[in-house]
Amino acid sequence: MAVYLLCFFAYMAEWIFGSRSKVGRTAAALTADLKKADAPAVTVEQGGSTTVLERPKVVVRAAAGARDVPDGPGAHGGTEKGDLWGRIAVSLTALGFLIEFAGVLTRALSVQRAPWGNMYEFNITFSTVAVGVYLGLMALKKDVRWLGLPLVTVVLLDLGLAVTVLYTESDQLVPALHSYWLYIHVSTAIFCGAVFYVGAMATVLYLFRDSYETKLLNGGTPGRFATSVLERLPAAASLDKFSYRVNAAVFPLWTFTIIAGAIWAGDAWGRYWGWDPKETWSFITWVAYAGYLHARATAGWKGRKAAYIALIAFACWLFNYYGVNIFVSGKHSYSGV
């Protein structure tokens, strides 16, 4: 947690020093001026005749009807000092990931089993995987450093909850959990939750950025703080596309997670499905994300409508984990808090 706290301050420094730059506003102004400039004409031959197309329209966003708005410069705001603090933050994030991964590994070695037998173990593994997903996207050259601050903030809250409220001493599992399905079912559930979290954070930032762009489009003047922060984020269309791709990519794995859980239930309890609270809310979560993807693919619900459905779906996942485990009794309750 100490390393992640240093990460938090480093990411904060990146945003603070980046806010002192006008690079984002200058880039946006230059882009707007370029759009107003006359583009070269294009000559097209049609059936022996020549047609001149004036000022061809260039579409830079895939979403139909999306605003032609450039992405912001990033949290560093184009400043060298901001970029330096951002690089330090990413390095500290990688160090924190390695230390936390070592903690998960030693927890597993202490009981000679997979470290996913209770909510404490699930929490520390979940935060490790979430950071791993972020670093993996960075390694793939994806420009997602804007996600660093909200990611580390939630990781700190998650770890704080784990070591204070949810902490459980190392112990052996009940007989029903001694199965290779523990490695398959629970590991995929943790990974899906971490990816859903990344998608949810992008969706929340999209809603803020979309409101900011709408206000500018309508001639309004956002507040100084909102302008300083939101102008550096990717465009609303980019955030919307990113969250959609993330959720769509992991949805098949979530489907497999539920199927694997049903097969494990058949081995452990003699029935594949019994509408246990955990099973029920897993299915509700699946339906919510399926509705989100279906709405985007068939009804053309892009933007805010789709974002609200995505957040409802993630809220279902959160309740499935925290709410069901803490407040509702069922067959999964034997794993303990």
In 3D space, the residue among 99, 228, 78 whose CA is nearest the CA of residue 155 turns out to be 99
Confidence of residue 203 (pLDDT cuts 50, 70, 90): very high
pTM over 0.75: yes
Distance, CA of 337 to CA of 333 (rounded, Å):
8
35 CB-near residues (< 8 Å, 6+ apart): 68
pLDDT, average across residues 210-224? 85
Burial of residue 295 (number of CB atoms within 10 Å: 0-12, 13-18, 19+) = middle
CA 20 and chain centroid, separation:
27
Confidence of residue 88 (pLDDT cuts 50, 70, 90): very high
- Taken in order 325, 329, 332, 337, is the CA torsion positive or negative? positive
Say what the pLDDT of residue 46 is.
44
Say what the pLDDT of residue 67 is.
65
In 3D space, the residue among 201, 90, 72 whose CA is nearest the CA of residue 139 turns out to be 90
In 3D space, the residue among 46, 145, 142 whose CA is nearest the CA of residue 90 turns out to be 145
Say what the pLDDT of residue 257 is.
93
- For every residue of 220-233, DSSP letters joined together read ----HHHHHHHTTS
Say what the pLDDT of residue 337 is.
56
Statement: residue 26 has pLDDT above 50: no
pLDDT, tens digit, 9 for 90 and up, residues 226-268: 888 888 889 999 999 999 999 999 999 999 999 998 998 888 7
Distance, CA of 264 to CA of 60 (rounded, Å):
47
Consecutive H or E run containing 43 = strand 42-46
Asked whether the beta carbons of 129 and 154 are under 8 A apart, the reply is no
In 3D space, the residue among 100, 86, 62 whose CA is nearest the CA of residue 147 turns out to be 86
- Contacts of the segment 320-323: beta carbons below 8 A, 24+ positions apart: 320/278, 320/281, 320/282, 320/284, 320/285, 321/119, 321/122, 321/193, 323/281
* Mean pLDDT score across all residues of the chain: 81
- Taken in order 289, 291, 293, 295, is the CA torsion positive or negative? negative
- For every residue of 259-271, DSSP letters joined together read HHHHHHHHHHHS-
Say what the pLDDT of residue 56 is.
37
Output 205 or 37, whichever has higher pLDDT.
205
Say what the pLDDT of residue 59 is.
34
Confidence of residue 66 (pLDDT cuts 50, 70, 90): low
CA 178 and chain centroid, separation:
32
Say what the pLDDT of residue 216 is.
86
Output 151 or 45, whichever has higher pLDDT.
151
In 3D space, the residue among 260, 248, 274 whose CA is nearest the CA of residue 187 turns out to be 260
